[in-house]
């Protein structure tokens, strides 16, 4: 069958559109039905406890799996999932640059997501996949699904008009307290928390170094849960390096303690004074990496 020039042109255009969207499209893992917002506060210096950082964590719950990530990445995800992503982002930056000039203030910036960790629960089935980064290197590792052993207690209270009940767990070096809502039968929560017969609305460790508290509940439709790729600068570039949870935690601690030494090693010369590295790293959220 001979292709008429008109059909050929259409075919080329269609192919381009498909290739374009594939190139920028991301892996869609599930469709979200609910979106929960958590305020996340953490102590940067666990020794002096006077530098609290805050972030907003979003938990997307789908039919089969869920994703917990930082709000700052939200715009990137949804924009890049669209074929116009790059251009739309530039437009936003342009408008912001103008508004900056009009308000007369120099760019101060929005605090970048303090939690670079993204937790995909039940993906693959029966496990969790975690992506995170150390400086500019991105890593991925697998973890057990429902790794907590909870003891449910009798205490109850109310959060956002929902009745919640308390449970405690010794999890990887910290003693956690979680409040879950028996009336929301979603066995999930922010970050890696799950395994209680209700949605975890609040969680904190006894030393109050890390705290999550729910601030918003939303029902959604047709919202894809995507596997966020590595984004470096303005280009989609790079892959996650596979590793294990303990190797990742040790690497993170080492980076915080020894960033000058690591920089010297990368450059292959002793440019930076290694005795100036910090001696007071803050403790990670999981402390069982020794």
Partner 1 sequence: MRIFGLLILLFCFGWTTYGQNLKLFGTVTDADTNNPIPGVVVSVRPAGESRIIRHAYTSTEGKFELSLAKFPENHVLHFANMGYAPKTISILPERLEYNVQLSMQATELKEVVFNAPAIEHRSDTIIYHVENFAEIEDQTLADVLKRMPGISVEPSGQIRYQNQPINRFYIEGRDMLGGRYGIATNNIHQQDVSSVEVLENHQPIRALQDISLSDDPAINIRLREDAKARWVGTLRQGAGFEPLLWKSELAAMRFKENTQTLNIYKSNNTGDALAHETRAFSIDNPIAQFRRGYRLQNYVMVAPDQLRQIEDYRSRFNNTHLFSTNNLWGVGQHYDLTSQITYLNKRLTSDNATLTSYFLEDGAIVTDEIEHASSHENRLMGDITLTANTPTYYFKNRLFANMHWSDMDIQVEGTFPNSQEASTPQRQFSNDLEILKRSGNRAYTVNTFNLYQVKPHHLKVVRDDDVQHQHVETSAFYTNTNTALSLHVNPVTFSMTLGVVGVVRSLESGLTGVADTLGRMNNDETMRYLNLYASPSLEFNRGSFESRLNIPLSFIPYRYADRIEGENQHEELFFVSPRLTMRYHVTQRLSASLIGSYVQRPVQEQSFHESLIMNNYRNLSLGVVDFDTGNSKSVSFTLRYRQPLRAVFWNASLSRSWNYSPYIANVYFLDPYLLNALFKQDYNHSMWLMSGNVSKGADFINGMVSLRSSLSVFEGATIQNAIESPYTSHSLTVSPRITSRLSTWFNMSYEFSFSRNWLEMQSTGMQTTYQNYRQKISGNINPARKWYVRLVGEHYYNEITADQTKHFLLADAEFIYRLPTGLEFAASVRNIFDQDVYAYTIHSGLRAINQEYIIRPRNVMASVFFRF
Count of residues touching partner 1 (by CB under 8 A): 98
- Judged by CB under 8 A, the chain residues 213 through 252 that form the site for partner 1 are 214-219, 233-234, 238-239, 241, 243, 247-248, 250-251
List the beta strands (DSSP E) in 48-87.
52-62, 66-70
Q: Which is nearer to partner 1, 5 or 107 (CB)?
A: 107
Strands 241-242 and 137-144: parallel
Question: According to the binding rule CB under 8 A, does residue 96 interact with partner 1?
Answer: yes
Instruction: Compare residues 14 and 47 and give the one whose CB is closer to partner 1.
Output: 47
Is the Cβ of residue 37 or residue 227 nearer to partner 1 in the bound state?
37
Query: Shortest distance, CB of residue 28 to partner 1, whole angstroms?
Result: 20
Is 272 a binding residue for partner 1 by CB under 8 A? The answer is: yes
Minimum distance from CB of 204 to partner 1 (Å)? 20
Per rule CB under 8 A, is residue 270 in the interface with partner 1?
yes
Answer for the pair 256, 278: CB distance below 8 angstroms, yes or no: yes
The answer to whether residue 256 forms part of the interface with partner 1 (CB under 8 A) is: yes
Query: Does 182 engage in binding with partner 1 (CB under 8 A)?
Result: yes
Selected from 30, 34, 70, 202, the binder of partner 1 by CB under 8 A is: 34
| C-alpha dist (Å) from residue 238 to 167, 233, 280 | 40, 11, 32
82: left (phi over 0), alpha (psi -120 to 50) or beta: beta
Question: Is the separation of the CB atoms in 107 and 83 below 8 Å?
Answer: no
Nearest approach, Cβ of residue 273 and partner 1 (Å): 6
Nearer to partner 1, 8 or 241 (CB): 241
Q: Residues 25, 26, 31, 257: which binds partner 1 (CB under 8 A)?
A: 257
Pairing mode of beta strands 174-181, 28-43: unpaired
2 binds partner 1 (CB under 8 A): no
Of 140-179, binders to partner 1 (CB under 8 A) are 152, 154, 156, 160-163, 165
* Under 8 Å between Cβ of 59 and 75: no
- Residue 122's contacts (CB-CB under 8 Å, 6 or more residues apart) are 64, 65, 66, 128, 145
> CA geometry: angle at 132 spanning 90 and 235, to 5°?
25
Choose one: 5-13, 96-104, 170-178, 203-211; the region binding partner 1 (CB under 8 A).
96-104
Site for partner 1 in 49-88 (CB under 8 A): 50-51, 56, 71-72, 74-75
CB 226, CB 58: distance < 8 Å: no
Q: Choose between 227 and 257: whose C-beta lies nearer to partner 1.
A: 257
**For residue 137, what are the CA distances in angstroms to 97, 236, 237, 264?**
29, 14, 11, 17
Q: Are strands 199-205 and 118-121 parallel, antiparallel or unpaired?
A: unpaired
Interface with partner 1, residue 137, by CB under 8 A: yes
Query: C-alpha distances in angstroms, 221 versus 63, 92, 204, 227?
Result: 12, 26, 31, 18
With CB under 8 A as the contact rule, which of the stretches 13-21, 101-109, 124-132, 205-213 interacts with partner 1? 101-109
């Amino acid at each position: 069958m001979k292709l008429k020039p008109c059909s050929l042109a259409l075919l080329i255009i269609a192919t381009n559109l498909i290739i374009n969207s594939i190139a920028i499209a991301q892996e869609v893992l599930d469709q979200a039905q609910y979106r929960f917002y958590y305020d996340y506060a953490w102590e940067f210096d666990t020794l002096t406890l006077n530098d609290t950082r805050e972030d907003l964590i979003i938990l997307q719950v789908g039919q089969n799996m869920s994703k917990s990530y930082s709000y700052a990445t939200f715009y990137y995800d949804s924009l890049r999932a669209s074929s116009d992503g790059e251009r739309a982002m530039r437009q936003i930056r342009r408008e912001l640059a103008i508004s900056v000039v009009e308000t007369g203030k120099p760019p101060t910036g929005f605090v970048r997501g303090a939690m670079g960790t993204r937790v995909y629960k039940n993906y693959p089935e029966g496990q969790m996949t975690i992506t995170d980064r150390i400086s500019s290197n991105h890593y991925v590792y697998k973890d057990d699904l429902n790794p907590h052993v909870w003891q449910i207690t009798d205490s109850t209270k109310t959060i956002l008009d929902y009745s919640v009940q308390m449970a405690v767990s010794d999890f990887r070096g910290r003693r956690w307290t979680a409040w879950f809502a028996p009336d929301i039968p979603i066995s999930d929560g922010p970050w890696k928390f799950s395994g209680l017969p209700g949605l975890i609305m609040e969680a904190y460790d006894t030393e109050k170094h890390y705290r999550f508290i729910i601030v918003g509940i939303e029902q959604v439709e047709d919202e894809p849960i995507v596997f966020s790729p590595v984004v470096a600068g303005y280009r989609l570039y790079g892959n996650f390096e596979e590793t294990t949870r303990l190797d990742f935690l040790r690497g993170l601690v080492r980076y915080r303690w020894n960033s000058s030494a690591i920089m010297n090693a990368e450059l292959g010369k002793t440019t930076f004074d290694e005795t100036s590295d910090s001696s007071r790293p803050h403790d990670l959220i999981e402390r069982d990496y020794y």
